Structure 1
């Protein structure tokens, strides 16, 4: 029989296994939680967005080349406030003498001193990532502790960013936890289900955070928002299972209710998660690889949330079943019948208005001021570190530095290129080996004869000749010796390095004064060489009088390239800096935006196509949500604010993948209800039924976005949070106030574009009368009936049955024994529905016009044990002031 077949289904067997073996699953989860907790601290967080640039971009290739060819020493800009110039000069001399300080730039110009504020530009002896440099920086700050000091430095920046992120996450999670509990209290029907939700959420979050170790390194953006987004995105799954359990528990004991609820919830939740996962997958196709980083982590978060809901939550529901039964409370979610009536009355006005707003949103969002430089953004909350950096930038400006990489080996050509760059109005300063002064006005790369070199360092000419001869032999230039050394010239830097190398090898001995001069010169020359001269490349360092981004800057970059191309092959030149990174991001934005928009819409439409079996309906839903995305990002244009490009890309994917579920909830309910009631009445009832689900999930996602926006001290993370909160709010508004009218006015389109897959077809029952049936019924009969039923129904009704269930006319009255406890049925024609091969026992139920706010009344003495249990639970809830499901 049908029921037995259903009990033997795979889903029932799997659900039974999960519930009955719950203690074993508890043990597995405990072990996995321990693994995840131990793995959390081993996850590396990358704070550098340039690391996610595509390998094909010039910036990424240039950064890799610089890392391979050059050493970048640690630097710092330190601002000392409320000092005279004389005091600042004395402090500068004191710092120059400190261990670890290689160089300090300070003079009496506006760039270094004004308004009682001094700026020291310091270069340290070690690389930026070296712990020694961090200790040296802390030593300088300690020496200045008596003064009002602010600083900006690449030394220890990752550690400071990590500390800020950790502090932010603690506050964000605490506030998000408060919001989640408050929302669950507002929308739940029992107090005891809240601990079940929280334990399920926490376990899923721990699993996701710990398993990030599998990827080795994740971005700081992903690390900041993944946990909160996971809770907000996956809450629907736990709510669906809990509601299923409550429904089944009406007439089943706790164990059976959990099993049946899980068997029904698994396919429902799995299909619901597809749209969300599709949005995450779409991000993984972005050229900017941070999309892949966020997409795969969030997709994993959804999968792990499903695992927690399917394998952990059923056991928790059964464990807390008794507490759930005794902790019912009144639901505070109001009916929104007035909203439904508003939608009915405005069904002709709103759809054209929505279309106009979607078109306007698409146009205005395209005109928004998109920015790509992190320094352009400001977060509402600043950490001490961020505030210090902002103070330095505010007083002395930001430094827009550009590196130009060219092939090495020709100092003369380098000098010509540097002099040409220095003449450009966009270039404030330009540094390379070929324009650095060494001693007495000589340039490092300037070629000197033995006599000129001897006079420069006060050396005997005979000794200089010996050095030049040794250099010629070492470089196999024997012609210079044979032709005479008087005309043989060697670059100053090369001769200094050669002599120092010979001294270190013990091949020569120098007088004390000469050795001291050589050692001091070598220290400065080696710093310049390490930073500007590689094995295959030379590097020029430019400071630009330009903003970090914008068309003016991008055009100037091309002029700089063209200037250098007069001396080097165009394809051998690399420009690397914040401006080139921003240009690469700008160039990839249009492509990534198209990828996100097309793929998310395509994935979602395919899923909806098979869900609703209508070609027109997916279009209506996707246009509604895509419209909310465009409206979301048109608001900054109207308010004159900037839009961070990454916020647009990430939030577009999340907003389409996640908030489309709200539209699906409303559409699904509407499609069910309109089968047995007028569409106007169906849309009102739909909004009442769907509102609790939408307000629960939606309010959490909105809260998550705005909490991140207001708490995070990282401007990138804050920008994403703001766009997410605003976008989710926009989607909820359109789903509740515009989608219902669109469904009503587009009902004819839905019907005309509907198609049917091979499955059970439904057909409506008679509007009233007395019937006997054996088969599956779904609809309202003095309450909602949805399941296998065998018996007699008497009264007015609205429901659908499967086409394979046969209908026969009935004329007989109800059995005598039932008439004693029931009102006489109205004289209406009845129908008998029998399913082939099914001879289940018959039951008799009679009723009147369906009352959708009341439960199905079962006469005393004629119900089953499950029905008596149902009545007991309902009486208990009524005493507690709770609502019936």
Structure 2
């Protein structure tokens, strides 16, 4: 874009600010209207690629039998007769396919289903009964959840509930409420951070208003996708807030700088837009690269998250560059009216302190690099529903533990086999029942007495287990849904099925998780490499150097390695999906910290030796890096402390901890590396004068000068001189 066209856009933004405000008002209104129509998907298996065996099996089962949700219910203090009565009431609900309970496994209490089991303890023990419920609809289906509400009424206060349908219902009820709480808390703390680091009580109001508008538009515009994952729904808004806040700070700081030079508000805004647009866009580019790379994942939830987050950053950029000028001009008098002095201490000594510990920092980095690189992959990862389920202390988790302690584990799997031979079906069912990890296996062939034709059985029963082309076997495994042992057991079930039916399938949460695990492991290798190369390419083009991208990225990558190794050290599990997302978010959102320090170092080398340049670079960058990092930390830990969904909670903790580590390493390790490799770093005069990030440096310095101008007489003359030179460059 040539300068004439760019100036025309800038003039339009400032001169037509009232029109732009109306456009954004309409956009917000439409977004609020469309937001309720954006569906949220809670089923991870929907994101499996078509090539995955479990995806093919799920499609087949959905076509033949539907895609059922499941629940396991324990009723305390009931007689076996009362348990039978409860089971029959649940069975009569329209959305319930079948219920397996204590009266379905004994001759005395047969319900006509011809199901015969010897071990009553599996379903009735010490006055407590447990039942397995299979619904007609999916686990996240609204009608399934309506049926659960009816079950809650039937069972009463003595019931405890677990299973995929219960988990999804609990999650849907809590996600929106918890997200709202997390956003409100984050806004409050971010307001406090910005109030401390700016010089007006009203500036944070402007920043938060702009971000709130961008978030609303992003959430409403998700209607273009129709459906988004619950993972995206739970994290996109708050991550957008964290990674986009800097853009509005850049613009307002630049505007304030020109106003303090006595330039009229409209002209000052035009100059601010001209000098900040490229910096804002360059800063957003690295973040967008990190998010877009997620769209390359074979496990297509990455595409879902990547597109929504990238769209959110683009919307934030547009909102800052088009709407923010109008809001600043409209409210500038309020900004001035509520002016206050800076509450932040001097950052002058930070650079000196970091230089003094440089040798220790480099030694520590060398020592930690290899162990943390290895340790990050030694974590105990979760891949499927257990990675995203309710966390410890929730009602769902408590109920699940109570049921498991009383009746053991029950991991429901389904065998889908061709409906070709009732004899083979019976033999397969018997073989499955004889496996030591199988609680029970139910099939029509396994329950039909020999010599009795299928036509003699009620259509309701045959329809539950047979179609014209396929038969269904319900299998309860005495395993968790996700573990090495569960995977091994599922493979044995699949082998038993293939012994009788070459084109038969064993499917369920465990089989889907096995495929998700294989796909995610492959995705991480591809995504992390492409993300790293993409960001490195942006940095290389910006600096015109091959070495600098390596130095700039080293602190961020080491921060990622350490961040991901900590769960292994403390013995906690992490969701592998969060592991991938955070790796991309952390490098995309925090690489700006490294770029800022590096730019300040290169500029300072025009007038100083490498030691003084290192100190000056850190001192100039510290406030901006700490402010931005604090916002990302607050947002991450806000998710961690407010979400009962452990997948979201763990993602938040990884983001928050990663931001802290990135800030520490950028301010300590990076200047030490720049000093160490000073001789082979491209000379400052060789860096293109039109570099986008040179403008970013100047804006940051202007902001710090506004807050810390008193240090010009305290040995910080270089900042003053440097800022004047930067301003002269921009005016030129």
Q: Is the 8 A contact 2:148 2:166 kept in 1?
A: no
Which residue of 526, 529, 535 corresponds with 1:604? 535
Which residue of 222, 237, 240 corresponds with 1:227? 237
Residue 170, structure 1, aligned to residue 180, structure 2: yes
Residue 77, structure 1, aligned to residue 72, structure 2: yes
Q: CA deviation at 1:660?
A: 0.9
Query: What is the DSSP-based 3-state SS (H/G/I as helix, E as strand, rest coil) of the residue aligned with 2:432?
Result: helix
Q: 2:81 maps to which residue?
A: 89
Q: TM-score, normalised by structure 2?
A: 0.87
Q: 2:221 maps to which residue?
A: 211
**Distance change >3 Å, CA 30–CA 60, structure 1 → 2:** same
Counterpart Cα distance in 2 of 1:235 and 1:332: 20
Counterpart Cα distance in 2 of 1:582 and 1:641: 19
Which residue of 654, 666, 680 corresponds with 2:611? 680
Query: What is the DSSP-based 3-state SS (H/G/I as helix, E as strand, rest coil) of the residue aligned with 1:404?
Result: strand
Q: 1:516 maps to which residue?
A: none
**Distance change >3 Å, CA 368–CA 234, structure 1 → 2:** same
Question: Equivalent residues in 2 for 1:346-357 (5 A)?
Answer: 346-357=357-368
Residue 536, structure 1, aligned to residue 469, structure 2: yes
Counterpart Cα distance in 1 of 2:151 and 2:408: 22
Q: 1:105 maps to which residue?
A: 101
Q: Deviations over 1:772-830 (max 9, x none)?
A: xxxx9x99xxx99x9xxxxxxxxxxx9xxxxxxxxxxxxxxxxxxxxxxxxxxxxxxxx
Q: 2:110 maps to which residue?
A: none
Counterpart Cα distance in 1 of 2:307 and 2:134: 40
Q: Deviations over 1:294-344 (max 9, x none)?
A: 000000000000010000001111112222233332222323333311222
Q: 2:460 maps to which residue?
A: 526
Residue 58, structure 1, aligned to residue 53, structure 2: yes
Residue 294, structure 1, aligned to residue 305, structure 2: yes
Q: Deviations over 1:853-878 (max 9, x none)?
A: 7799x9xxxxxxxxxxxxxxxxxxxx
> Aligned pairs, how many?
689
Counterpart Cα distance in 2 of 1:363 and 1:403: 38
Which residue of 153, 158, 179 corresponds with 1:142? 153
Q: Is the 8 A contact 1:615 1:750 kept in 2?
A: no
Counterpart Cα distance in 1 of 2:75 and 2:715: 83
Which residue of 555, 574, 586 corresponds with 1:643? 574
Q: TM-score, normalised by structure 1?
A: 0.73
Q: Is the 8 A contact 2:350 2:622 kept in 1?
A: no
Q: Is the 8 A contact 2:409 2:478 kept in 1?
A: no
Counterpart Cα distance in 1 of 2:377 and 2:12: 53
Q: CA deviation at 1:50?
A: 1.1
Q: Is the 8 A contact 1:192 1:324 kept in 2?
A: yes
**Distance change >3 Å, CA 284–CA 73, structure 1 → 2:** closer
Q: CA deviation at 1:156?
A: 7.2
Counterpart Cα distance in 1 of 2:685 and 2:431: 70
Which residue of 541, 558, 581 corresponds with 2:491? 558
Q: CA deviation at 1:600?
A: 0.8
Question: Equivalent residues in 2 for 1:611-760 (5 A)?
Answer: 611-751=542-682
Q: 1:545 maps to which residue?
A: 478
Q: CA deviation at 1:559?
A: 3.0
User: Which consecutive residues of structure 1, in runs of 5 or more, have no partner in the other structure?
Assistant: 1-5, 449-491, 497-520, 762-775, 787-797, 799-846, 859-885
Residue 199, structure 1, aligned to residue 65, structure 2: no
Residue 181, structure 1, aligned to residue 200, structure 2: no
Q: CA deviation at 1:671?
A: 1.3
Q: Deviations over 1:725-781 (max 9, x none)?
A: 1111111111122111111112223238x99587679xxxxxxxxxxxxxx9x99xx
Q: CA deviation at 1:74?
A: 6.3
Q: 1:509 maps to which residue?
A: none
Q: 1:339 maps to which residue?
A: 350
Counterpart Cα distance in 1 of 2:721 and 2:213: 36
Q: 2:19 maps to which residue?
A: 24
Question: Equivalent residues in 2 for 1:773-784 (5 A)?
Answer: none
**Distance change >3 Å, CA 551–CA 293, structure 1 → 2:** same
Counterpart Cα distance in 1 of 2:140 and 2:244: 39
Q: 2:729 maps to which residue?
A: none
**Distance change >3 Å, CA 585–CA 609, structure 1 → 2:** same
Query: What is the DSSP-based 3-state SS (H/G/I as helix, E as strand, rest coil) of the residue aligned with 1:348?
Result: helix
Q: Which moved more, 1:630-639 or 1:300-309?
A: 630-639
Which residue of 427, 431, 434 corresponds with 2:438? 427
Q: Is the 8 A contact 2:358 2:668 kept in 1?
A: no
Q: Is the 8 A contact 1:647 1:720 kept in 2?
A: yes
Which residue of 370, 385, 406 corresponds with 2:417? 406
Counterpart Cα distance in 2 of 1:202 and 1:760: 33
**Distance change >3 Å, CA 270–CA 558, structure 1 → 2:** same
Q: Is the 8 A contact 1:336 1:688 kept in 2?
A: yes
Question: Equivalent residues in 2 for 1:430-441 (5 A)?
Answer: 430-437=441-448
Q: CA deviation at 1:539?
A: 2.2
Q: Is the 8 A contact 2:487 2:514 kept in 1?
A: yes
Q: Is the 8 A contact 2:71 2:166 kept in 1?
A: no
Counterpart Cα distance in 2 of 1:43 and 1:662: 35
Q: Is the 8 A contact 1:71 1:531 kept in 2?
A: no
Q: 1:807 maps to which residue?
A: none
Residue 118, structure 1, aligned to residue 129, structure 2: yes
Q: Which moved more, 1:346-355 or 1:55-64?
A: 346-355
| Structure with the higher strand share, 1 or 2 | 1
Residue 366, structure 1, aligned to residue 300, structure 2: no
Q: Is the 8 A contact 1:192 1:327 kept in 2?
A: yes
**Distance change >3 Å, CA 675–CA 110, structure 1 → 2:** farther
Q: 2:258 maps to which residue?
A: 248
Query: What is the DSSP-based 3-state SS (H/G/I as helix, E as strand, rest coil) of the residue aligned with 2:717?
Result: coil
**Distance change >3 Å, CA 612–CA 77, structure 1 → 2:** same
Query: What is the DSSP-based 3-state SS (H/G/I as helix, E as strand, rest coil) of the residue aligned with 2:122?
Result: coil
Q: CA deviation at 1:681?
A: 1.9
Q: Is the 8 A contact 1:636 1:643 kept in 2?
A: yes
Question: Equivalent residues in 2 for 1:302-321 (5 A)?
Answer: 302-321=313-332
Structure number, greater radius of gyration = 1
Counterpart Cα distance in 1 of 2:540 and 2:407: 58
Q: Is the 8 A contact 1:43 1:216 kept in 2?
A: yes
Residue 269, structure 1, aligned to residue 261, structure 2: no
Query: What is the DSSP-based 3-state SS (H/G/I as helix, E as strand, rest coil) of the residue aligned with 1:120?
Result: strand
Counterpart Cα distance in 1 of 2:519 and 2:571: 24
User: Which consecutive residues of structure 2, in runs of 5 or more, have no partner in the other structure?
Assistant: 104-118, 706-711, 725-732
Counterpart Cα distance in 2 of 1:345 and 1:157: 53
**Distance change >3 Å, CA 702–CA 116, structure 1 → 2:** farther
Residue 326, structure 1, aligned to residue 321, structure 2: no
**Distance change >3 Å, CA 378–CA 850, structure 1 → 2:** closer
Q: CA deviation at 1:19?
A: 0.7
Q: CA deviation at 1:149?
A: 2.3
Q: CA deviation at 1:153?
A: 5.4
**Distance change >3 Å, CA 71–CA 586, structure 1 → 2:** closer
Q: CA deviation at 1:111?
A: 2.7
Q: Is the 8 A contact 2:87 2:131 kept in 1?
A: no
Counterpart Cα distance in 1 of 2:714 and 2:416: 86
Q: Is the 8 A contact 2:58 2:67 kept in 1?
A: no
Q: Is the 8 A contact 1:380 1:711 kept in 2?
A: no
Q: Is the 8 A contact 1:374 1:716 kept in 2?
A: no
Counterpart Cα distance in 2 of 1:133 and 1:744: 63
Q: CA deviation at 1:598?
A: 0.5
Question: Equivalent residues in 2 for 1:444-459 (5 A)?
Answer: 446-448=450-452
Query: What is the DSSP-based 3-state SS (H/G/I as helix, E as strand, rest coil) of the residue aligned with 2:73?
Result: strand
